[in-house]
Structure 1
Amino acid sequence: MKITMPQRISPKHSVATTTGLCTVLAAALQWHAVRTGIVAGLTLFWLAFLPPAQAAEPEHNVTNIAKDGLVTAREIRGTRTFQFRVADPALRSRLRVGAPVYVNFDTKQVSLDGKKSCCTILKISTAAKQAVPGTTPAAPASAPPTQSRAAQLTGNVTAATPRPLATHPQGQQMMSQAAQNAALLDLNFQFLNKSYKNDVYVRDPLGKKHRVSCVRFKSTSGFRFKVDPPAFTLTSQGLTVEQNISKLTADGLTVKVQLGPCADIAAGMGVRLSDIKLVYKAKPMITFDQNQLCRVSWSRDTDELRVAIGDMNITGVQNDIDKLAKDAVREALNAVFDAYFGGKLRGELTKVSVNVCGGGKSGK
C-alpha cells in the first residue's frame, strides 16, 4: 500500500497565496462599489430631470348651488349631469360654481377634494353632448325648425321644469282674465251638515254630570251670490288675492234648533253680514313639455285663506242660539271661499293658460 504524505507548504508560499486571494477580493469589492455608485448617480440624474407628478385633472365641476344645499354638477367632457346634497354648512359655504368635484358613479359617491367622500349622488341625467372646446361643431344637415310661439315667449324653458307663473310674459294677463271669468260664476253658500251644540250640564253630589237642557243649531239650507273680480298681486314669490264684500244678506233660511227639551224645532232665520275681507295666497306654477305646450299647477303647501267678518247679525233666533248660528255661518263662509279660490279660480286659470300656450283645447 502506497501512502501519500501531505505536502508541506512553505511559509513564503502561504503568504503569497493568501495575499493573492485578498487582492482578488479587494478588486471585486472595489468594482461593486463603483457599480453601485454609477447606478445611484444615474438614478439621481433621471429623477432630477423627471417632470413633477401632477394630481389627476378633475372631470366634473359644479354648475349650481341651491340654498338648501342641493348641488348640481356636470361632466366636463361628457353628457351626464348629477345632483348631490352637501349637508355640512361649513363645507357648503366654501363651495363655488365651477369648483371641481370627484365622482365614482359605480358607488354614487362624491368628493370635493379627491380624497374624502362627502356626499351621495341623488340624481343622474344625460343631456345633449356639448362641443369640445377648441373644436368646430359640424354644420347641421338642415336648417333648425322654427320655434313655436310658446317657445319664443318662454325663452326656451327647460322641459318639465316648473317655474312661477309671474315669470311668463303673459302671466299677469292670464291671471287677470281668470279672475274676471271666476267673478261671473255663482258662489253657493251652504251650511255644513253638522250640529252646533252648547248643552247645559249640572253635577250631582257625587260629581256625575247630568244634561238639563239642550242648546243646539243645525241647518242644511243655503243661498247663491256673486262677487266682483278680486284684486290680486302676482310675483315670482306667489299669488295674493284680496276680496272685499261690503254686504251679504240672505233671508228665509230653514234651521232646526233645540232650546230646553232635546227635540228639534223647525225655524227660519236671516243672515246680515257686512265688511267681509278675504285674503287668499297660493303659488301658481307653469310647466312646459317637450312640445313647448304649457300646463299650470298649484303648490298646495302654500295655500292660505283668511276670512274676516266686520259685523254679523242673525235674525229669527233667540239669543241662546245666536252664537251657535254665527259659528255655523263662519264655517260655511270659509268653505265657500275655499272652494271659490281653490276650485273655481284655479279652474278658470287652467282654461286661460291652455288657450294661451297649451294648445288651445281647454276643457269645459
Structure 2
Amino acid sequence: MTTPALFAPARLGSLTMDNRIVIAPMCQYSAVDGCMTDWHQIHLGQLALSGAGLLTIEATAVVPEGRISYGDVGLWDDATEAAMAKVLESVRRHSPIPIAIQLAHAGRKASTDLPWKGGAQLPPDDADGWQTVAPSPMPFEAGENAPQALDRAEMVRIRDAFADAARRAHRLGIDAVQIHAAHGYLLHQFLSPLSNRRDDDYGGSLENRMRFPLEVFDAVQTAFPGKPVTVRVSGTDWVEGGWDVEQTIAFAQALEARGCGLIHVSSGGLDPRQQIPVGPSYQVPLARAVKQATGMQVVAVGLITDYDQAEAIVGTGDADYVALARTILYDPRWPWHAAAHLSARVRAANQYLRSQPRQHRTLFDFEEGAA
C-alpha cells in the first residue's frame, strides 16, 4: 500500500521526521520572568505524544523587552536556560519527537497584557510593562505608547542576543531553530514598508529592509552549527502598499542563498488595517508561490483542520509540510486520527498501544526502549 504523502518521512539536513505534520509554535503566556513552568511541561508533554513529525517551542524572546507579554518564555540567561532544560529533559524521557524552537523579538508589539486579560499594550510605567522598540517610532495602533527607534548599537545587541539564544538552544540539544520574522514582530517590522520608515541603510529599498533580518539569520546560523536554521514569514500584510508575496519571494531567495533550507509561510499581523480572507487553506497560495520560486522546503499553515485537506496540500506539492496550531490544541491526537483516516501508521507510546481501535489494527508504531 502506498504511504500517504502526509505520512512520508522527511529530512532537513541533520533533522529527520516521521511525517509531514509540524506542531507550530503557540504562545502559552505562562512563564515567570521568562522561565518555563510546570504548565509548559504538561503542554509540550502532551503534544510530544501526538505522533506529529516535529514539535516547535513557542515564540521565545531573546531579550526581556522582546517578549510579547510578561508571561512569555525567554532564553536569554542561565535561569531561563535551566528552566527550559528541566522541561525538555522530562519531555525527552518519554518521547523521541524532534524539537525545534522559535526565537523571537516582538518589537513594537511587545509589553502587552495576557490575552485572557484583554491583551492591551501596557505602558512603560505599568508594573508589568516596559518601553518598546522598533525600526521606526510608530506604534502598532493609534493611542499606544510609541516605540523607540533602534539605533545601530541596539540593533547589534539584538542580533547578538538572537545568536546567544541560538547557542543556548544548541547546548540544550534542540534540533532546529526557527527565526520569527512574521506576524508583525520586530523582524517583520523591518521588512515591511508600512512599519519601516528609516532613512539609513536599513530602510527604504527592499534590499535595505531585508538587511537586518538577514544579518540575524547569518548570526544565528553561525551560532547553531550543523543543524537547520529556518524562518517564519508573513507572506503578505494584507494591506495595500505593504509587504506582499513578491517581496516574500525575494526574501526567501536571499535566505536560500545563505543556506536556509526551510521557510514557514504565514501572513498578516503587522497592521490593524489588514483585510484577511479567512477560510480553509487561505494561506496555502502564499506557500505555493514561495515553493515554486525557490528550492527550499516549505511549511503551509492556516485553518488546516481536515485530514484530506492536509493530505492534498502535501500530495499536490503546494507545500512540503502542514503546520497545526489551534487545531492540535483542540485535538492533541490529530495525527493519530489523520493516520487512521488515510490508512497510514503513526508512532505511539507503549503505554497507549491498547487504545488502538479494533478497525485500525496496524495504526501504531510502538516506542522501542521507551520509559
* TM category, shorter: under 0.3
Greater strand content: 1
Greater RCO (Cα-Cα under 8 Å, separation 6 or more): 2
TM-score relative to the length of structure 1: 0.18
Larger radius of gyration: 1
Greater helix content: 2
TM-score relative to the length of structure 2: 0.18
